[in-house]
Structure 1
Amino acid sequence: MPSDSKRILLVIRRLGLGGIEQATITLANALHHADHDVHLLVLKDTPQQSPAPGVTVHCQPFERQARKTPKGLALHLVGRTLLKAVLPGSGFVWQGLAVTPLFERFLAEQEAAHGAFDMILIRGQGAFELLWPFDDKRCWQMVEAVVGDYEGRQTQPRWLIRKLFDAKRVICVSQGLADGLSEHLAARDIALERCEVIHNAVPLERVRTLSEQADEPIPDTPFLLHVARLVPEKNPTLLIEAYHKAVEDGLDTPLLIIGEGSEQAKLDALVKRLGLEERVQFLGRKANPYPWMAKASALVLSSNFEGLGLVLIESLALGTQCIATDVPGGIREVLVDDQARLIAAPNAQDLAAKMQEALDQPVTVRPQWAERFSEDAVVPRFLRLIEPNAA
């Protein structure tokens, strides 16, 4: 490793196939390719994807290990029985008290054998909750989802929010998230030590390369495309209702949907009830959705919130215009300039209108809209936080 190489530990609860997991893999790979010593710690389950060779992966099921200790088992049983009823939502507090010592022991062993880490990044609330007592000036919590009160969601009591965020050093993946988090914490008299905004990186060249590797025929005729998990937070019901409204108003371009999830049966029934079987096609999950994204007339995103919106950046990297709902998070940081005119109010009528507008008056995508999120643009911002005088 070069003399200026840094040792960096990324911590995530699970390494599945979602957006946070993909962003973590991208960052780990980018740091490794920049000649840094990168370690990825997975706290639960078998990883479903792997980073580049050279990134060291540690799988440590600390939750399960903790329950094998007297203290951990006692906290688990008391938390699951008495405290679950008396203090709803507090389960992570007792888990964290048992898990964090195991993490600290792992960290000490690694550093004794290989040298100190220069930065520790804990990604996602699931990992925050398991490691909330951990206190180290090298540590940053990465906030990647909207925090706060919205859509009628019940927020946690103040004392639980304090456990997660009070006096912590936080990196938010969009300014929208940072603003929402700041407002949420200020209303509860909770103060962060520091808050930085660093967008997630996207491997733009990899996305472009994969877009040229179609393994099945893709229509040459115009189509709208939705790429997301079919889960409530992505609000695919709004997508179908808006598309139906657009069809009633004269739109004749088909809608293709890539993704799987808990809403599939509900969406199938809705498509049939609205008589859209010939116009809406569910393609399931695709390991490589990029050839479809490159050929789409527009990508449509109907989420209730987006931490940043990685699929929007990927779409822009392929020259495909985007339609998205104006919701909490980072949508307006991704869709800028002329592309911002295709941001819709989060209702069926306005989203339908933006579908038609995209087809009638398409946006010409500018390369710089995606380049802002390249690995080369993002990685140095993390490294600057390691500098001794960074403030």
Structure 2
Amino acid sequence: MKIRYLLLHAYGMGGTIRTVITQANAMAAAGHDVELVSVVRRREEPQFAIDPRVRLSALADQRAGVREPSLAARLARRLRGGAVPRGEFAAHYFTPAVERAVASYIARLTDGVLVTTRPALNLLSARHAGPGVVQVAQEHMNLSTHRPAVRDAVLRNYAKFDAVVVLTEGDRREYQEAIPGARVERIPNSVHSLDQPFSDQTGKIVLAAGRLYPQKGFDLLLPAWAEVVRDHPDWQLRIFGTGPRKDRLRGQIEQLRLYNHAFLMGRSEHFHDELTKASVFVLSSRFEGLPMVMIEAMSHALPIVSFDCPTGPADVITHGREGLLVPPKDVPGLAAALKTVIGDRELRERMGARAAKTVAAYAPASVMPRWEALFSELSAARSGS
């Protein structure tokens, strides 16, 4: 079976990138003809390991820098519109030249399965894919988190796909109800591996990770941590990730006098080692799809403290079993939950052991056959066999 994955930036970091590469690697290992197509390329090498059987290519090589479109080009695009709504979180990547390159690539395809992995790419596929191509749209976000222009475009176009695949059962119901006639399937993302060392619960470290964007809520986590260290001054908060909010978060750390208690760690080449050193993982997101970094933390037998944000955490953990769920944006509640698990090592060990068992449902061996079965069914239906 010929399978093509279209990613915005296969050379970058991020949960979606990692899970799509994991899926591509698994399909190649199963004997399929797999291609990973990156819309842009801004680094020399991918950040995640790609199976040598997976062909990797890029549509727009931007390693020498990104040339901004002229004012006239920007105005013309605004007047005529495009397949990518301006409210899409990655819309700034889709200059007229980039959008043309993606549209041209999709239009040239005549067979196989095309898997698109974010709204911008899904909408371009809906507009340009030919009748011989099996179209599968991946959605990594809850419908309600999309901005209005994106949501409207999704509702108009997603019924054109052979299948729309979402991460949680709540998402499946919401998309199915909103898009009558669409085939909506739930297949969760898979962790890279379950063969990870467990935390021994000796490190006085709470770990958080994600892009330094408003979505991840680190600006809510820091005041909660300021409450925690009043009772537990010997514990550290380590936040891994990069992004445009770094300076603002650093200023917040200074303002809250957390310079000896909270640290922005940047990117780590040995993130799984860092998870093993920690004793708690905290998720402070305002919204999520299916938070893979949380699931990876669970594979290290870490208990979870998380906001019960729209979709994601509650689909994986049960309050009081694998961790503690706190009402969204409830900073005092987050602080109290962290104090509870920090102050009780037996509770952490018990929750961590349950987390490690729960995460088995997200192992590649559990998830990948579902993708393979879906692709086979859709391909057979398209060919009429």
1:10 aligns with 2:13: no
- In the alignment, is the contact (CA less than 8 A) between 2:4 and 2:36 conserved in 1? yes
Residue of 350, 370, 375 corresponding to 2:333: 350
State the AA in 1 paired with 2:275. Answer: M
Please list, as runs of the form range in 1=range in 2, the aligned pairs for 1:88-103 lying within 5 A after superposition: 89=86, 98=100, 102-103=104-105
Verify: 1:82 aligned to 2:82, yes or no.
no
**Helix, strand or coil at the partner of 2:143:** coil
Could you tell me which residue of structure 2 aligns to residue 200 of structure 1?
189
The 1-side partners of 2:15 and 2:219 are apart by 20
Deviation at 1:327, TM superposition (A): 0.6
Contact 2:123 2:154 in 1 (8 A): no
Mapped to 2, the partners of 1:232 and 1:181 lie a distance apart of 25
Deviation at 1:221, TM superposition (A): 3.8
Q: Distance in 2 between matches of 1:143 and 1:51?
A: 22
Amino acid at match of 1:156: A
Q: How does 1:378-389 map to 2 (within 5 A)?
A: 378-388=367-377
State the 1:251 CA deviation: 6.0
Q: What is the CA–CA distance in structure 1 between the aligned matches of 2:150 and 2:253, rounded to whole Å?
A: 40
Letter matched to residue 369 of structure 1: T
Which residue pairs with 1:291 in the alignment?
A: 273
- What is the deviation of 1:222? 1.3
1:39 partnered with 2:35: yes
Displacement after TM superposition at 1:312 (Å) = 1.1
**Secondary structure in 1 aligned to 2:333?**
helix
Q: Which residue of the partner structure matches residue 122 of structure 1? A: 116
Amino acid at match of 1:255: L
| Shift, 1:388, TM fit | 4.0
- Whether the aligned pair in 2 keeps the contact of 1:145 and 1:306 (CA below 8 Å) is yes
Q: How far is 1:239 from its partner? A: 0.7
Structure 1 gaps of 5+ residues are 1-5, 64-72, 109-115, 213-218
Deviation string, structure 1 residues 161-204 (Cα, Å, up to 9, x no partner) = 34442343200022233344345xx3xxx435200000011122
1:177 aligns with 2:171: yes
Aligned residues of 2:24 and 2:34 also touching (Cα < 8 A)? yes
Number of aligned residue pairs: give it: 352
Partner of 2:154: 161
CA distance in 2, matches of 1:154, 1:240: 27
Q: Tell me the CA shift for residue 341 of structure 1.
A: 4.7
Contact persistence 2:307–2:334 (CA under 8 A): yes
Q: Taking structure 1 as reference, are residues 27 and 11 closer, same or farther at Cα in structure 2, changes over 3 Å only?
A: same
Distance 1:253 1:12, change over 3 A: same
Residues in 1 aligned to 2:296 and 2:3: alpha-carbon distance in whole angstroms = 26
Q: Which amino acid aligns with 2:340?
A: E
What's the secondary structure of 1:327's corresponding residue?
coil
Fraction of identical pairs, as percent: 24
How big is the shift at 1:101? Answer: 5.3
Q: Distance in 1 between matches of 2:117 and 2:245?
A: 26
Shift of 1:84: 5.5
Matches of 2:61 and 2:78, distance apart in 1: 21
1:295 CA displacement: 1.9
Call closer, same or farther: CA 1:32–1:277 in 2, change over 3 Å.
same
266 and 205 in structure 1: CA distance in 2 versus 1, 3 angstrom threshold: same
**1:16-55, aligned counterparts within 5 Å?**
16-46=12-42, 48-49=45-46, 51-55=50-54
Alpha-carbon distance, 1:351 to partner: 0.6
2:65 is matched with none
Q: Does residue 1:257 correspond to 2:239, yes or no?
A: yes
Contact 1:124 1:143 in 2 (8 A): yes
Unmatched segments (≥5 aa) in structure 2: 63-69
Is this contact kept in 1: 2:39–2:102, CA < 8 A?
Answer: no
CA apart distance, 1:147: 2.4
Match of 2:216?
234
Relative to the length of structure 2, the TM-score reads: 0.80
One of 359, 367, 372 as aligned partner of 1:370: 359
Query: What SS does the aligned partner of 1:303 have?
Result: coil
Question: CA 1:329 to 1:93, structure 2 compared with 1: closer, same or farther past 3 Å?
Answer: farther
SS in 1 for 2:238: strand
- Report Cα offsets for 1:209-236 as digits up to 9, x if no partner: 7x89xxxxxx964111112221111111
For normalisation by structure 1, the TM-score amounts to 0.79
Query: Do 1:260 and 1:285's aligned partners in 2 also have CA atoms closer than 8 Å?
Result: yes
Counterparts of 2:338 and 2:151, CA distance in 1: 41
Q: 1:9 Cα shift?
A: 1.3
What is the alpha-carbon distance in structure 1 between the residues aligned to residue 371 and residue 319 of structure 2?
Answer: 27
Task: Please say if residues 237 and 267 of structure 1, whose CA atoms lie closer than 8 Å, have aligned partners that are also in contact.
Answer: yes
Give the direction of change, closer, same or farther, for the CA distance of 1:34–1:81 in structure 2 (3 Å limit).
Answer: closer
* 8 A Cα contact 1:96 1:132, kept in partner: no
| Distance in structure 2 (CA, Å) of the matches to 1:35 and 1:10 | 16
Deviation at 1:100, TM superposition (A): 6.3
Are 2:223 and 1:224 aligned?
Answer: no
Report the Cα distance in structure 1 between the residues aligned to 2:291 and 2:85, rounded to whole angstroms.
32
Q: Partners in 2 of 1:105 and 1:245 — Cα distance?
A: 55
- Cα-to-partner distance string for 1:322-355 (whole Å, 9 max, x where unaligned): 1111011221122137435511112101111110
CA deviation digits over 1:22-80, x for unaligned, max 9?
111111111112222211112222465151111111222399xxxxxxxxx9x967742
1:321 aligns with one of 303, 320, 325: 303
What residue is the counterpart of 1:58 in the other structure?
57
Cα 1:62/1:338, change in 2 over 3 Å: same
Give the RMSD, CA atoms, in angstroms: 3.4
Structure 2 CA distance for partners of 1:191 and 1:79, relative to 1, 3 Å: farther
